[in-house]
Amino acid sequence: MALDPNSSALAFFGSELKRLRELAGMTQGELAEKVHSALSTVSAYETAKRVPPSDFAMSADEVLHADNHLIRLQGLVEQTSVLPWFRDRIEVERNAAEICEYDSYQIPGLLQAEDYMRCIIPAARPALTAEDAERAITLRLTRQDVLEPDENAPVDRPGDTRLWAIIDESALRRIVGSRAIMAKQMTHLASMAKCPNVTIQIMPFSAGVTPAYGRSFSILSAGNGLAMLWLDDVFGARYIRDRDEVGRFNLVFDHLRAAALTDDRSAEFISQIGMEYENEAGMA
């Protein structure tokens, strides 16, 4: 089904990007090359599968001689597609050199497969509308771009961000959607663990009580040494930039790293659980 450009600001941006590209006589691949992006990235922006960052809008606007049209639209997309309390995280993630994350309840958003997130996001209460749920899924998929290498991009562009994730075994054991969906999630997790900029450790039940006491958190560090702490809440989040507070959570993360399985053993553990889910799904 064709994308309705009037359905959202994001859809309108995609339709305008496609219209201007075609007016310029360019293919998606040609535009991707000129703006130093991957072909799949341009396609995702045109089909409203990803939220475009401001630097893409600026580059595309210049290449397509759009007279700041795409730049203005991108600002509208940011305002309508990203919740105000979440904008800081999106911006910091895009510029982060390293993200250290501990999650005890679910697979971290940056490592979620789409089928998994389509079960996680609608669980919010009050319940989201179908439109808001789709917008949240698009945003989460957009966030994952920071981990994807782009051969055409400069060295300081997305794909250089390092992620160190420590995931409690309970997040792997909690069945989200179905065992078949969990099997796919384990496959995705194992695949992401092979990326050179991603380290995944599993905190097994056998480790006992951890210094985080089951509290999920993220530490997002910029290349200049500045860091921000993100603490999830049911209806929002708390940002902390105080150095002493961030330092205390860095210490907690160091202890979690020491208590968790090594990355090699974690990869084996993930594969083992994935096989269990596959066998159980096959028996159903």
Render each residue's pLDDT in the chain as its tens digit; 284 residues: 556 787 788 889 999 999 999 999 999 999 999 999 889 889 989 998 888 888 899 999 999 999 999 999 998 887 776 665 566 677 778 889 999 999 999 999 999 999 999 999 888 777 778 877 888 888 888 889 889 765 444 433 445 799 999 999 999 999 999 999 999 999 999 999 999 999 999 999 999 999 988 889 999 998 777 898 988 776 667 888 899 999 999 999 999 999 999 999 999 999 999 999 999 998 55
CATH 3.30.870 domain extents, the chain:
84-283
pLDDT attached to residue 235: 64
Calpha distance 164→174 (Å, rounded): 21
Closest CA to 217 of 251, 186, 192, 244: 251
pTM summary value? 0.75
Q: Domain 84-283 class?
A: alpha beta
Q: What is the DSSP string of 131-167?
A: HHHHHHHHHHHHHGGGGS--TTS-TTSTT--EEEEEE
Q: Compute the residue count for the chain.
A: 284
pLDDT attached to residue 152: 45
Q: With 0-12 CB in 10 A as exposed, 13-18 as middle and 19+ as buried, what is 263?
A: middle
Calpha distance 235→231 (Å, rounded): 11
Instruction: Give the angle 140-106-149 at the CA atoms, nearest 5°.
Output: 40
pLDDT attached to residue 84: 56
CATH: 1.10.260.40, 2.70.98.60, 3.30.470.20, 2.60.40.3880. Which one for 9-81? 1.10.260.40
CATH 1.10.260.40 domain extents, the chain:
9-81
pLDDT attached to residue 283: 53
pLDDT attached to residue 88: 66
- Which H helix or E strand runs over 83? none
Closest CA to 185 of 276, 120, 274, 109: 274
Backbone CA torsion sign across 138, 144, 146, 149: negative
